[in-house]
Structure 1
Amino acid sequence: MAILVYAEHDNASLKKATLNTIAAAKQMGDEVHVLVAGRGNQAVADEAAKAEGVSKVLLADNAAYEHQMAENIALLVVSIADGYSHIIAPATTTGKNFMPRVAALLDVSMISDITAVIDAHTFERPIYAGNATATVKTTEDKIVLTVRTTGFDPVADTGGTATIETIDNVQESGKASFVNEEMAKSDRPELTSARIVVSGGRALANGENFTKYIEPLADKLGAAIGASRAAVDAGYVPNDMQVGQTGKIVAPDLYIAAGISGAIQHLAGMKDSKVIVAINNDSDAPIASVADYFLEADLFTALPELTSKL
């Protein structure tokens, strides 16, 4: 049977998380289908059809799916689930929202946040804030799981020649309606897909220092800005900038941590970064254990100097 991957998108373009999820799906089987549900999203379907390893794209274009509300998306996925052995989504806000509903409606267990595929029924996933890895094997006839996208390299976004099939099966629960959304607008890259991330911690002392010290460096590098939970809880920056177990999981090519001690909660969200640079005046800070480069220095001196040298 084929494998169904739910596409992460904004109705205009496909998000990179989908390409990582397709890579995971390819390790479970040869035939991968991608579901693109939204409104006015033909361009997304065209983009998904070009992804490496995709044999078919299912396009559900309807007002009921415009905001990808979990109540409606879960019903849609369940309505087409019979033809699939695996149903997979990225472990993003959207995936974490509707996939448990899918599992419940199908009356099967769910495996969340996998980081490796052993075989089509056996997977690895982090536990205890990433301090241990569990190997999980399921005997379910239909496997529902989410993928930690940082655990898989994305497939190529070109070269594929998948067919696109339109789904007219509209599923609307009638139990919830979209009211409004407030989107944070920024010229910087999105945190979870950025190649470079500059994060600040509680040592910055206030939000003004994020603007004064972190933002200039991020702008020079074309980087996204992140923060530790301590900085978010203190009100220095909004919670959508939090990196960690209870925030966003990132794995950029370069991660710069300034004034972050490296609590387990934070390390769980960034330790898979390709190169980690830490700036801290405490040489015994836990983040030193995962850093490729550790600069023991006052961040208020080091950051301006680093920014000026770029």
Structure 2
Amino acid sequence: MSVLLLAEVAGGALALDATAKSASAASALGPVTALVCGPAEAAATAAGIAGIDKVLHCADDSVANGLAENLSALILQLAGGVTHIVAPATNSGKNVLPRVAALLDAMVITDVTKVLDANTFKRPIYAGNAIQTVQSQDAVKVLSIRTAAFEAAATGNAAPVETVTLSDAPALSAHLEDMVVKSDRPELSSAKVVVSGGRGVGSEADFALISGLADKLGAAVGASRAAVDSGFAANDLQVGQTGKVVAPDLYVAVGISGAIQHLAGMKDSKVIVAINKDEDAPIFQVADYGLVADLFDAVPELTGTL
């Protein structure tokens, strides 16, 4: 068995946390070859991740920007003898893997949280309220890894790096521009501390309370779907079943009722703190610490104390 791992590259740099956690999952399946599309520095970083046996580096402009059509063509070009194709369940992975699977006439096994053997995997369903065991007989298994379920592989490895090129890029799409919001805060998916606000925050202006608390804690900012739909926060801050799945050391939920959709994205957090004036809010059922209080009193006081 051999595994081809699509490393996560964002902004020209390797997303170390997502790639290392995916490598940890993939190493249970056999020797791991990581495909890094981007600068040489990203390939060098991937080569240092434990469990990666070889790095294939492609610096072609046609794949450097993550176009699914071109990346899929490159993956298929390199897939001879591969039994598993793996990527983190990020926006990039979710964009590429379905196309790869379709071209291979295989299924995609999404959000894998546990590897039982080479053919059998566990994944959450029904917003995380049930765990499904999936067994695949496809010749090549295509898997996306829910990185929150795995520990990151160690660093200090020295895997060899080999250069590859895309022999025939499909002319199906073209990269025009990246429009990325820059922030000094940690990236939401890999942050150790997350402070999220919900509909109870009340307005986009009052969402500054969440940002202020996050700054004091050195945390990433998140939001419930209700807050995003109400225009309080940007879409890329959404935590939940249709947003990002996080599992930080500390998750602070402010003005969030605890709908199933939101719980699916954060209930694996190590410590959950909830602040809500409704003592019957479902969020208190999963919280390790709960404060029944008006957030407009509690959050400024907490922020000031810190």
Does the 8 Å contact 1:62/1:170 carry over to 2? no
- In the TM superposition, what whole-angstrom CA distance separates every residue of 1:170-214 from its partner, at most 9, and x where no partner exists? 441101111222111111111111111000000111011011x11
Query: In the alignment, what sits opposite 2:299?
Result: 303
Please state how far the C-alpha of 1:15 moved relative to its aligned partner.
3.1
Amino acid at match of 1:80: L
SS of 1:198's equivalent in the other structure is strand
State how far apart, in whole Å, the 1-side matches of 2:251 and 2:267 are: 9
Identity of aligned residues (%): 54
Query: In the alignment, what sits opposite 1:252?
Result: 248
Please state how far the C-alpha of 1:120 moved relative to its aligned partner.
1.2
State how far apart, in whole Å, the 2-side matches of 1:110 and 1:19 are: 21
SS of 2:13's equivalent in the other structure is coil
Determine which of 197, 200, 203 is the counterpart of 1:203: 200
Determine which of 255, 262, 281 is the counterpart of 1:266: 262
Query: In the alignment, what sits opposite 1:5?
Result: 5
Matched, 1:184 2:181: yes
Amino acid at match of 1:235: G
Does the 8 Å contact 1:33/1:57 carry over to 2? yes
SS of 1:207's equivalent in the other structure is coil
Matched, 1:76 2:74: yes
State how far apart, in whole Å, the 2-side matches of 1:159 and 1:12 are: 18
For residues 30-109 of structure 1, the aligned pairs below 5 Å read 31-38=31-38, 41-109=39-107
Does the 8 Å contact 2:189/2:246 carry over to 1? yes
State how far apart, in whole Å, the 2-side matches of 1:171 and 1:132 are: 43
**Given the two structures, how large is their TM-score scaled by the length of structure 1?**
0.96
Amino acid at match of 2:272: I
Matched, 1:139 2:144: no
Query: In the alignment, what sits opposite 2:112?
Result: 114
State how far apart, in whole Å, the 1-side matches of 2:36 and 2:94 are: 17
Amino acid at match of 2:196: S
Please state how far the C-alpha of 1:53 moved relative to its aligned partner.
1.1
State how far apart, in whole Å, the 1-side matches of 2:237 and 2:191 are: 13
Does the 8 Å contact 2:16/2:46 carry over to 1? no
Amino acid at match of 1:26: S
SS of 1:133's equivalent in the other structure is strand
- In the TM superposition, what whole-angstrom CA distance separates every residue of 1:133-177 from its partner, at most 9, and x where no partner exists? 100011112111100100111101x22121101102344110111
SS of 2:9's equivalent in the other structure is coil
State how far apart, in whole Å, the 2-side matches of 1:181 and 1:209 are: 29
Does the 8 Å contact 1:64/1:171 carry over to 2? no
SS of 2:284's equivalent in the other structure is helix
For residues 143-292 of structure 1, the aligned pairs below 5 Å read 143-156=141-154, 158-211=155-208, 213-292=209-288
Amino acid at match of 2:7: A
**Given the two structures, how large is their TM-score scaled by the length of structure 2?**
0.98
SS of 2:72's equivalent in the other structure is helix
SS of 2:14's equivalent in the other structure is coil
Matched, 1:15 2:27: no
Please state how far the C-alpha of 1:88 moved relative to its aligned partner.
0.2
- In the TM superposition, what whole-angstrom CA distance separates every residue of 1:76-123 from its partner, at most 9, and x where no partner exists? 001111121100000100000010000011111111111111111100
Please state how far the C-alpha of 1:279 moved relative to its aligned partner.
0.4
Matched, 1:124 2:122: yes
In the superposition, relative to structure 1, how do residues 140 and 13 fare at CA in structure 2: closer, same or farther (>3 Å)?
Answer: closer
Over aligned residues, Cα RMSD in angstroms?
1.0
Does the 8 Å contact 1:14/1:47 carry over to 2? no
Q: Which aligned runs of 4 or more in structure 1 are off by greater than 4 angstroms?
A: none
Does the 8 Å contact 1:115/1:124 carry over to 2? yes
**Unpaired stretches in structure 2, ≥5 consecutive residues:** none
Please state how far the C-alpha of 1:55 moved relative to its aligned partner.
0.8
